[in-house]
Structure 1
Amino acid sequence: MKSPEHIDPIFEQLFSKINPKIANSFTDEQLKAIQRGFGSQFEARHSLDIRVSVPIPGLRFYLVLFAGSERRSQQRLQNEKGRYPLFNTGNIIFLTGFSTILLSCSFIILSFVWSSLSSISTSPYATSIPWIFDKSECEYTNRTWRDEKCWDDQHSPMF
């Protein structure tokens, strides 16, 4: 194969499957045009592009999630709707499992947050006032002098 300036590895892999006799018959101009046409399919980036191999023993499994602005034509959308239906057995099983896990995790997190919030006491309790050092000043502010400290029996934890 003749070599234009820069060759995409995927393009090179697919082009290597062409009979060498035919591949060598292309001019540099033809190769560049084919590469441009091929590469234009992969130039558009998605706003969200997640590709993950899922390590399940005994299975080769992967997950891909794309999101972005819709640029496909109406005809292409109709064609793909028939080829890739949303409601098939695999999708339904996955969505059911994913929803169950998401709801369970949400419930656990919310119950944890709720229990930690409800355990915070808002009722007043006694605490010493560190900036009052004598009994007369303590009693003047309607507090209690005990153990050489000034105690406030109405201290709010929200203070």
Structure 2
Amino acid sequence: MTKNTTRFDHVVLWVADPVAAAAFYEKAVGLETIRVAEFTEGKVAFPSIRVNEETILDLAPHSFAPRMKMLPGSADSAGHPVNHVCLSLPVDAFDALRARLEDHGVPVSDIDTGLSGARGNAARSFYFRDLDGNVFEARHYDD
């Protein structure tokens, strides 16, 4: 696994019942579940599904929506099938993307550190919207 190439890290899906959704993805689709027990014990906000060694699907309950404050209006995405798409980039591409977005007047969130993803905790991440309102997260991992 290479941490410094552009690729999908995770996609967050809104679901009515994260445990039932995890069971579907495990049983009907054949994917590995992650953190289901921790979710049911209240230790994590949502369970995940491993797509491959580098990509996961997070199964966010609709009740998680009020916590989505990275951009104004983000909580309004609850009920839509996808909350946001995360792109993992090399550090120089991460910095270049943020600069390009700012140069084009695209609002970006503050930088977060240590957010969990498919390959552990990211060094830095931020959020932005495309022209259609789709929310993207950009992140990079330490080398």
Q: Same fold (TM over 0.5)?
A: no
Bigger relative contact order (CA 8 A; separation at least 6): 2
TM-score, normalised relative to structure 1: 0.19
TM-score, normalised relative to structure 2: 0.21
Larger Rg: 1
